[in-house]
Structure 1
């Protein structure tokens, strides 16, 4: 429903126009009628208005001046001039002001209905175009049914991204939803306009707030704190990221990618509020130290130093928490352990990489940091026990070395002859060893490793294009890569990426 105001100093004409509009089935509601331009301008300043129908000659402020000043308040306002004059000078000024149409008195029903019909279609198309800007960001079904009033389009907005805080209990079913978040946001931001959209990414929401919210709070950060408090009353702990500078709809949509990157890069184990105007959590390790740390733990895995590994890991996890390490760094560290264990597994199936993705996702989704620590220590113990139970026969050791060599060259394109030359054996012997321990041919096994690496890249580097993944893994042709990927996983690369969100 679109809101309209009529500005006309002749009461009979005003009542006639109002009656004609109300007699139609058009989605237009007359929210105010006024007798002079100044009164109309004050109403437009205080209320969202879609359509202005105004006489040209009125006391205090004429129609053309009213349109010009109203546009400063609401640039999207659509105006229709009503006058008994067909003077060219008025028409020229109206064109300069981009008036939607011009009606001559006496206004007849068919004339008014024609103009209003075209105006409603124009407004709907314009608003739908703005809404469609959120395609690829907002959940598709929600977006297709989304209808927004004019108040969504009349002023600059502030965008927030909301996620469940890391290492917190998952909210009860029905709590962490668009409706619940909308209620809490309205409590924190009312009476200013605010909207919540479910994002395309799982368990992420986008909040849009009118910039006038800064009349209520000294800063956007204070508004975020109020929203966080409201959600905690619903037993929902969240992390919120925001770029606090207000912007138009198109600029906001462009900012979403930057804001999502900020959330991914800066979110720490304790969660909280992420604001580009405030200091971010710092990495506890200087540049290069994380690589040294990952190398130290990987070396203990290679040498099967279970007890030393466990003691140092317990110590390191405490350090991570006390220094509020970023989630991206913690995820990187856990993946390095997983890779080290996986590289030492002489009986592994290449599809185990998919299992690893799920295991790490489960570890990182703990209900508390303490639960995460306990689960990680248990998981590493299981992996050490598995390594210690493995029988180290000569063929198994060669297979392990072959597998490690193939993994090290996963981004190259090796032939069985290249591998045979490296290990000083015949290609047929390489083929027998691979077949014995993987039940696959050399080509099939190497391809499985490449597809598993593709799965990891898609899961951990969502910004990569499928063309880039194909090229970096030396497939050469993207269509061939997509075909092989589907043969091995049952999904196309795009379907797999969407399923991980």
Structure 2
């Protein structure tokens, strides 16, 4: 069950604690997402967390509850406010009514009264959510709110297909006001990747469009157009400087859409133009601004005039970073690989490349990964996925975060394949070394260097790997094999010590006796005598 969020505000910590403990919030359909001890702190928290309900005291330092209620309503007119106070004064109650508070309660508040209040508020919130997200209502709104002629005219205008001398008469015929004097296009891109699975993309677009009508149509004299699954605002400005306020409103709208419609919306604000016939140029700028979401992030407003590089572009080179990542994939730990991917992603983001340069960086990245994988003899179809157009897939990634996740996945896959291949190769040459020793332990000239020469590896690498795989040094392993054969010759074949020493690779019989005693704790003659006694 989806729970509504509630924030508690009181300058007394004990009061907040008692209210939190007094009620079974989850059973009522709510959850407490935070608390604050004055109005200023509460306003900052509300902007960040977007609560459905705020329950606040009146008397608090810095900003009282009534002032807070005013500002919360300005921030989100749909927020529900409960005011509770120890002051039974008419003026307070009257002001609470004026700010459209849901309830005005007097302290102390008992649990039954609070439960009743939250029950009424939940009913109201349920009705509002159903109205905004009910599929039938959205479909009905879609049909009623998009007159075909208006939609067609505005779409053609945005495409630059309406002659300038026809705009005035056509807008009059379609009862569309385009007085300006300044215009800008805002593209609201709705992510297909980050949406509720149960809601169709088209219906999600309708929900966002409805919110746009409520938030922008009147204040900004804006027209809303559906555009290939996204939405476009045609905004009219009476002053060019208001573009900053528009950008802030669009940024706030992206957060509201995430909260109410559960849509990840990125707003791209185009350049200001002076005639409706130039709206196609403004839309082009808005589309470029939305493309920059891969660098600046999704779920926010991006003004093309603020971020599009002018003059000489920033030069972002990632070649050294890619090669450093490849070295970590070859020999580093999983943590080191992930850290290197994070650093590479950060460099791309902080470099603020143009969209064109960003795409070139992605193509360079994919090409380098292909070459690296092939040089390591990896099956790149398995790494990237069969029947997958890697270049198109990477270019369609719409945020640096998702690109980073993709790079992490690919890098760890390659590291795993290389590690498996290395382990297989390691086990293979260790096995070969063991077989070589078993067949040639009688060679007096056998050393770790001669074995490594036979295998074609360095002695330093061989020593490390052999010890890791067998748990023994090579010399210990060789000595064990020689002594195993020496015991067989001594006990079962009754050979003399100097003959045994010669047979198992020792040119000096005395040194053989020393090695034997070190291995078994007694001389060969004593070992032989003990073995005979045990048999008899």
TMscore range, shorter length: 0.3 to 0.5
- Higher normalized contact order (CA 8 Å, seq sep 6+, divided by chain length): 1
TM-score, with length taken from structure 2: 0.36
TM-score, with length taken from structure 1: 0.38
